Amino acid sequence: MAIGALVTGGSSGIGAEVARVLAQAGYHLVLSHFEDDENADQVRHAIIDQYGVRCSVFAGNLADASVPSQLAEYALQELGTVSVLVNNAGVTRMASVEEFQLGMIDHVFGLNFRAPLLLARDIGNHMIHRGVSGVIINIASTRAFRAYPRDSIYGGLKSALVRATESMALDLARYDIRVNCIAPGAIQVRQRASLDTFYQRLGHRIPLGRVGQPDDVARAVRWLVSEEAAYVTGTTIRVDGGLILPGMPERLPEGTEDYGWGVVRDAPKSET
Catalytic residues: 154
Exposure pattern of 63-72 as b/e (b: 16+ CB <10 Å)?
Answer: beeebbeebb
Residue 30 CA to residue 19 CA, distance in Å, equals 9
Residue 11 CA to residue 17 CA, distance in Å, equals 9
Counting DSSP H helices and E strands in the chain, the numbers are: 8, 7
DSSP state of 266: P
Residues 6+ apart with CB under 8 A from 41: 57
Long-range Cβ contacts of 48-53 (<8 Å, 24+ apart) = 50/20, 50/23, 51/23, 51/24, 51/26, 53/23, 53/26, 53/27, 53/28, 53/29
Cα R_g (the chain), whole angstroms: 19
DSSP state of 25: T
Nearest 5°: CA angle at 173, between 163 and 58? 70
Nearest 5°: CA angle at 130, between 15 and 132? 55
